[in-house]
Amino acid sequence: MAIARAIVAKKIEAENHSKLIKLDFLKALGKARTTDDIRYVEAKTAQVWWRRWTGFKMLFTGPAVAGQWFSFQSRYIGRAQDRLGKLSAQFTARGAVHPIQVILNFGIIPLANQK
């Protein structure tokens, strides 16, 4: 619990939230009693952080790229689900569909593999 709490606290600090939002997240983190509670706080901070990127404009040179790549809209990604069709959009890091998501995932790989 202590390690998970410390990691999420550092993440909250690094996300550069406004002072009030940061204090609210740190307070919620302090009240967390289980690792699920800590994961919930981390997920909420991530949602706030990703919303800041909405509408971020990107420029590309070279070969043509997908039109939706020129502006970031959401971290929410729709998922296909066999015969049942498509699941509703979910806030997820898996299956990145935009360059900003890919860059973040690529940057996390070395950190996740440190010993």
What angle do helix axes 19-31 and 35-51 make, rounded to 10 degrees?
160
> What does the pLDDT look like over 6-59, one tens digit per residue?
999 999 999 999 999 999 999 999 999 999 999 999 989 988 988 888 888 888
pLDDT of residue 102: 78
Q: What is the pTM of this model?
A: 0.65
Whether residue 79 has pLDDT greater than 80: no
Q: 94 φ, ψ to 5°? A: -85, 145
Q: What are the domain boundaries of the chain?
A: 1-52, 54-115
Structure letter (DSSP) for residue 68: G
Query: From the centroid of its chain, how far is CA 103?
Result: 12
Q: Tell me how far apart the alpha carbons of residues 88 and 39 are, in angstroms, rounded to a whole number.
A: 21
Residue type at 2 in one-letter notation: A
The listed range with the strongest mean pLDDT (21-25, 56-60, 72-76, 91-95) is 21-25
Higher-confidence residue of 32 and 64: namely: 32
